[in-house]
Amino acid sequence: MMKKLLVLFVSLCMFSCNDSTKKAAPENAADTIYFNGDIITMEGDEPTYVEAVSIKNGIISKLGTKKDVLKLKGDSTKVVDLKGKTMLPGFIDGHCHFANFGGQAIGAQLLASPDANVNDIEILISVLKQWNTPENRALTGWIFGAGFDDSVLKEKRFPTKHDLDKVSTEFPIMIVHISGHFAVVNSKGLEQLGINANSKDPEGGLIRREKNSNEPNGVLEELAAIPFMLQAIAPKSEEALIKFFDAGQDMALSYGYTTAQEGRAMQNQEMLVAMAEMDKYKIDVVSYIDYMFVDKHMTSKWNSKNYINKFRIGGMKVTLDGSPQGRTAWRTEPYLIPPEGMPHDYSGYPAIANDSVLSSIFEKGFKNNWQILTHTNGDAAIDQLIRTMKPLKEKYGNEGRRDVIIHGQYIRDDQLNQAKDMNMIASLFPLHTFYWGDWHQELIGEKLGQKISPTRSALNKGMKITTHTDAPVALPNLMRVVWTAVARTSRSGKIIGEDERLTPYEALKSITEWSAYQHFEEDKKGTLNEGKLADLVVLSDNPLKVKVDLIKGIQVLKTIKDGKIVYELQ
């Protein structure tokens, strides 16, 4: 009997020692384990799934089968059942304007359907009147809103100061076009900005005038608008500043951002730095300094490959033209429909007309080894980029540089070839196919209109690409970016460039792995891999398994930064 009991005791010990549910030693135990969902690593050319992922100290500690990962379960490990939902690496926008997210979140919402309902000027006026409260005005001193779109408004025109004067003549008003390249102010706003009949148009900008008069009509283009926009919609107190920042960051979190970009930092760089000094960031934000402000900011401690309180400077931004939907993108051919008051051969205009000036700007970036992001929409602007930057790449070398073409809406096939030879990254903007796909074809013709944001062509040539929201041009909804890249369907339901579609997996790569590479962060972000940051997003559905048209409705359920849940859908 004693012998049988001894054998039984030994057997129980052996079973206990081999039990896969035993607790891990405290030093090895995971903080959190996720399992029972579609966990997509985003590594490789085809989708790869794992059953479970563990996190320790903000880092992915193990990927693999549920059985293997659960071996890292300790007494304090939180085990999360995903209940069939989808987990991916956290989203990284290839280009946006994070500093302006707060204005979009707080200001009067002037977007058209389906994002809001401002589909005519009468509704625009009504929305501004409703927003006009003492509490709201106190934030900046202005009545303001963003997102109006003349291409969608029933009147097919820009509002003017006369429209905005119906809201108020007592307080200054500024509304920002959906492109971010135009503003409209009321009469009081023009007075406050010091713009009148004697004001000259700045280089790279235009003050629109009344018919048969030199009086401003309230519409400001490009560099006649952008500096004033940052000035007018700037919070006037520390309390307002924090309110703006928190609202913008919360909006980013709700769309799955774990890394955001400030794609053209100017005066707003001070706000971004102030928030970093106060340790307010919940996600990583990388800022690109406008070339006019590099002398002020690029020598600071923030210009680093390493984040300080989740903030850093990534390089320099240069803008060469305007927006195609606003018809300020610089083209080699005339627009079929010129803006009101412009001649029939109007083809947009450059932001920096002198090639020598531009070359010296680029050369400063090369001498200092700054990554350069260049905004170019029209093909004439892209020609200018290539002819001024290519000699500098030959002079200073191109090893390790990851210079980026931002937008490239009207980039030609021969320009893609040259950009590929220059080892440039193309951050393209297929969101345009939905919002302005129909409008593009009216402006430049159906054949060229089908080639906007040529993502497939760029990939086929072996270029590295990303996609982006350019928010607050549109809402920072990255699932809509994925959908537009895959569907390329316009507001009217027309297919815009079927041959330029991405697969759902490629579209996801462009806001995860490929975007991490663009930002020199592929060693830490973009894919799920042991040793990388636990930057994760949980989605309501799997974009790789649902019908294409359902992708745009997928919701972010959780955003996880450094292993901590920073957003959860209620």
Do the bridges between strand 284-290 and strand 257-265 make them parallel or antiparallel, or are there none, so unpaired? parallel
Q: Which of 84, 107, 139 is the last residue of a domain?
A: 84
Model pLDDT, residue 2: 43
Q: Is the pLDDT of residue 370 over 60?
A: yes
Q: Is the pLDDT of residue 371 over 70?
A: yes
Q: Report the SS3 class of residue 19.
A: coil
Contact assessment for residue 301 and residue 333, using Cβ atoms and an 8 Å cutoff: no
Q: Report the SS3 class of residue 303.
A: strand
For 166, the token pair is 């119906």
For 147, the token pair is 């997102």
Alpha helices in 278-412 (DSSP H): 294-297, 355-367, 379-396
Distance CA(272)–CA(295), nearest Å, equals: 17
The CA–CA distances, whole Å, from 456 to 117, 348, 411, 501, 519 equal 33, 27, 13, 6, 21
Q: Is residue 510 part of a domain?
A: yes
CATH number, domain with residue 397: 3.20.20.140
Contact assessment for residue 312 and residue 340, using Cβ atoms and an 8 Å cutoff: no
Q: Is residue 358 part of a domain?
A: yes
Give the burial class of 395: count Cβ atoms within 10 A of its Cβ; 0-12 exposed, 13-18 middle, 19 or more buried. exposed
Model pLDDT, residue 404: 98
The CA–CA distances, whole Å, from 240 to 137, 230, 559 equal 11, 15, 26
Q: What are phi and psi of 339, to 5 degrees?
A: -60, 160
Residues 6+ away with beta carbon under 8 Å from 229: 174, 176, 183
Q: Is residue 396 part of a domain?
A: yes
Residue 183, beta-bridge partner list: 176, 220
Query: Which amino acid would we find at residue 326?
Result: G
Domain that holds residue 496: 287-526
Q: Is the pLDDT of residue 495 over 70?
A: yes
Give the burial class of 358: count Cβ atoms within 10 A of its Cβ; 0-12 exposed, 13-18 middle, 19 or more buried. buried
Do the bridges between strand 257-265 and strand 91-92 make them parallel or antiparallel, or are there none, so unpaired? parallel
Q: How many CA atoms lie within 13 A of 203 on its CB side?
A: 8
pLDDT in tens, 250-264: 999 999 999 999 999
Contact assessment for residue 230 and residue 222, using Cβ atoms and an 8 Å cutoff: no
Q: Is residue 420 part of a domain?
A: yes
Q: Is residue 129 part of a domain?
A: no
Model pLDDT, residue 59: 98
Q: What are phi and psi of 418, to 5 degrees?
A: -70, -40
Q: What is the mean pLDDT of residues 311-320?
A: 98
pLDDT in tens, 429-470: 999 999 999 989 999 999 999 999 999 999 999 999 999 999
Q: Which of 84, 115, 143 is the last residue of a domain?
A: 84
Look at the chain and report how many structural domains it folds into: 2
Of residues 450 and 11, more confidently modeled: 450
Model pLDDT, residue 14: 41
Q: Is the pLDDT of residue 1 over 70?
A: no
| C-beta neighbour count of 339 within 10 angstroms | 18
pLDDT in tens, 45-100: 999 999 999 999 999 999 999 999 999 999 999 999 999 999 999 999 999 999 99
Q: Is residue 40 part of a domain?
A: yes
Cis peptide before 227 (omega within 30 of 0): no
For 308, the token pair is 């300080």
The CA–CA distances, whole Å, from 334 to 221, 302, 325, 352, 358 equal 18, 42, 14, 19, 24
Residues 6+ away with beta carbon under 8 Å from 400: none
Mean pLDDT score of the chain, rounded to an integer?
94
Model pLDDT, residue 512: 98
Q: Report the SS3 class of residue 206.
A: strand
Q: Of 172-176, 230-234, 422-426, 436-440, where does mean pLDDT reach its minimum? A: 230-234
Whole-number percent of the chain with pLDDT over 90:
88
Q: Where are the beta strands (DSSP E) in 496-543?
A: 536-539
Q: Quick one: pLDDT band at residue 18, thresholds 50, 70, 90?
A: very low
Residues 6+ away with beta carbon under 8 Å from 131: 107, 108, 143, 145
Q: What is the mean pLDDT of residues 195-207?
A: 94
Q: Is residue 270 part of a domain?
A: no
For 521, the token pair is 């962060």
Contact assessment for residue 501 and residue 451, using Cβ atoms and an 8 Å cutoff: no
For 432, the token pair is 């345009």
Q: Which of 84, 104, 125 is the last residue of a domain?
A: 84
Distance CA(329)–CA(347), nearest Å, equals: 8
Q: Quick one: pLDDT band at residue 7, thresholds 50, 70, 90?
A: very low
| pTM score | 0.90
Model pLDDT, residue 22: 62
Q: Is the pLDDT of residue 9 over 70?
A: no
Give the burial class of 345: count Cβ atoms within 10 A of its Cβ; 0-12 exposed, 13-18 middle, 19 or more buried. exposed
Distance CA(214)–CA(262), nearest Å, equals: 36
Q: Quick one: pLDDT band at residue 232, thresholds 50, 70, 90?
A: confident
Alpha helices in 18-140 (DSSP H): 66-69, 101-106, 121-131, 134-140
The CA-based angle 262-264-270, given to 5 degrees, is 70
Query: Could you tell me how many residues make up the chain?
Result: 570
Residue 217, beta-bridge partner list: none
Quick one: DSSP state of residue 491?
T
Model pLDDT, residue 557: 98
Give the helix/strand (H/E) hosting 146. strand 143-148
Distance CA(198)–CA(190), nearest Å, equals: 12
Q: Is residue 8 part of a domain?
A: no
Give the burial class of 569: count Cβ atoms within 10 A of its Cβ; 0-12 exposed, 13-18 middle, 19 or more buried. exposed
CATH number, domain with residue 42: 2.30.40.10
Contact assessment for residue 119 and residue 153, using Cβ atoms and an 8 Å cutoff: yes
Model pLDDT, residue 12: 38
Query: Which amino acid would we find at residue 396?
Result: Y
pLDDT in tens, 124-180: 999 999 999 999 999 999 999 999 999 889 999 999 999 999 999 999 999 999 888
For 373, the token pair is 């992001």
Distance CA(165)–CA(175), nearest Å, equals: 12
Sign of the dihedral defined by the CA atoms of residues 457, 463, 467, 470, in that order: negative
Do the bridges between strand 556-561 and strand 564-568 make them parallel or antiparallel, or are there none, so unpaired? antiparallel
